[in-house]
Amino acid sequence: MMKRKLPALAVIALLVMVLAACAPGTARFSPAEEDSEAGFLWGIWHGWIAPVSLVWQLFNSSVRVYEAHNTGFWYDLAFYLAIVGGFGGLSFTRKKVKSDG
């Protein structure tokens, strides 16, 4: 039984590390790209990993849920779409169970 759990735990740990590597507020920009800002695609990504970033922020104060160094409207739009579409949209498609009582 433990042999089956070990690969799953390794995959989960790897997934968390990959997600954390691109979290807002971390040093994802190289020194050569200091003038670059997070755009539309980064907004989508940051919206999808917002729950991971929120938990990670408890352990590392440099991590943020939202990237402050962004392009403005397009980043905000993408972040919002990812939050609503990635998490809120699931509740709209779920079937409701009818009770007989």
Q: Where are the domains of the chain?
A: 2-24+37-93
Long-range contacts of 71-74 (CB under 8 A, 24+ apart): 71/37, 71/38, 71/39, 71/40, 74/39, 74/40, 74/43
pLDDT digits (tens, 9 = 90+) for 56-94: 888 888 888 888 888 889 999 999 999 888 765 555 555
3-state SS, residue 36: coil
Q: Is the pTM of this model over 0.85?
A: no
Token digits of residue 74: 């397009």
User: How far apart (Å, rounded) are the C-alpha atoms in residues 97 and 101?
Assistant: 12
Could you tell me which residues come within 8 angstroms of residue 61 by beta carbon, excluding any fewer than 6 positions away? none
- At 32 the pLDDT is 46
Higher pLDDT, 44 or 63: 44
In the predicted model, is pLDDT for residue 99 greater than 60? yes
